[in-house]
Amino acid sequence: MPVIHYQHLLRLTHAMIAALGTPDDLAHMVAGSLVEANLRGHDSHGVLRLPWYARFVDDGRLLPAARPSLAEQRGATARIDGAFGWGQPAARLAAGTAVDLAAEYGIGLTIIERGNHIGRVGEYVGLIAEAGMVGMAWCNASPSVAPFGGRHRLMGTNPFAWAAPRGPGRAPLILDFATSIVAEGKLRVARAAGQSLDPGLILDAAGHPSQNADDFYAGGALVPFGLHKGSGLSVMIELLARAVAGVEHGATEYRGYNGTMLLAIAMSGVVDTDRYLEAAERFCAAVESSEPADGVPRVLLPGQPEEATRTQRLVDGIPLAARTWDDIRALAADLRVHGV
């Protein structure tokens, strides 16, 4: 398995995105987002996506030079027009706008219309939490998940993310998960590595359980987490994205469009901020000091595994499946990007 230093991977990713016709500042944002996902161990949302994005550019689904913009603001709410450009800059604009609105109104709600795949959703609620606010996000995607009790794909992986600030010098708590039992991108990682899936993650095209990732891409479906609970949460996210962000998917192929809603809540509007931070630290300390179950080294808070992975990969490099690295090298050759 190749191991690539993050700075080299960042330079290469930036060069490839720029070669697709992306202005330098937007390429910087997208490349940073992808490599940061790899640093945090979310390889499903990292540079593995580059060939996928390139296909979207080739067939016109993704307009690499398009810039997101603030389309409309009404009080504490705003609409961001993604212009079918890169999803990451649109999501960063939506997060920043939500923070600005919350600073003025106590709460800020933004939606992204005409948006492409935004990557790791936790990145954007993390930006809100770094501004000292609570951040929440809901996002729908193309059909890939069968509803609870169903046989065929109907809903997206529909991630939900939530972040809350901690005290000075501490990373915010970030909770970020798909409402499917596993993210679609993790199937890509397993397929690239030639690995079988754990039982209970996917169905094949006939609706039968499978452990072969290829069966998903041949018309199968992911399974929601938590039986009816994950399925019900996914249904509600679909309603938000379809009704509010205007993203209604009719195709069964995973096409990369996201309907996204971001919420920022200013802590100062509802509670004394110092009191909140003190209470948050007491509770976090209680969780971390709780007695672990047999075979568990220690109890972790949301986001701590990612922080530990990031610290390690900054030093040791980012491991990539051989197939993923081969795909990236092939794309770089097609784009005439050197230095791979």
Task: Look at residues 80, 224, 233, 222 and name the one whose alpha carbon lies nearest to residue 162.
Answer: 233
pLDDT in tens, 324-338: 999 999 999 999 999
**Matching CATH topology for 1-64+317-340 and 66-180+224-289?**
no
Integer Cα distance of 194 and 263 in angstroms: 39
Integer Cα distance of 208 and 23 in angstroms: 45
Q: How far, in Å, are 164, 237, 303 from residue 286 at the CA level? A: 17, 32, 16
pTM above 0.85, yes or no: yes
Helix, strand, coil % over all residues of the chain, rounded to 5: 45, 20, 40
Integer Cα distance of 291 and 20 in angstroms: 51
Q: How far, in Å, are 54, 64, 218 from residue 9 at the CA level? A: 17, 20, 31
Written out in words, the top-level CATH class of the domain with range 1-64+317-340 is: mainly alpha
Tens place of pLDDT per residue across the chain (340 aa)? 899 999 999 999 999 999 999 999 999 999 999 999 999 999 999 999 999 999 999 999 999 999 999 999 999 999 999 999 999 999 999 999 999 999 999 999 999 988 899 999 999 999 999 999 999 999 988 889 999 999 999 988 999 999 999 988 899 999 999 999 998 888 988 998 899 999 999 999 999 999 999 999 999 999 999 999 999 999 999 887 766 666 665 444 445 678 899 999 998 888 899 999 999 999 999 999 999 999 999 999 999 999 999 999 999 999 999 999 999 999 999 999 998 8
**pLDDT of 251:** 41
pLDDT in tens, 76-131: 999 999 999 999 999 999 999 999 999 999 999 999 988 899 999 999 999 999 99
Name the residue ranges covered by the structural domains of the chain.
1-64+317-340, 66-180+224-289
Written out in words, the top-level CATH class of the domain with range 66-180+224-289 is: alpha beta
Q: How far, in Å, are 93, 166, 308 from residue 124 at the CA level? A: 9, 16, 20
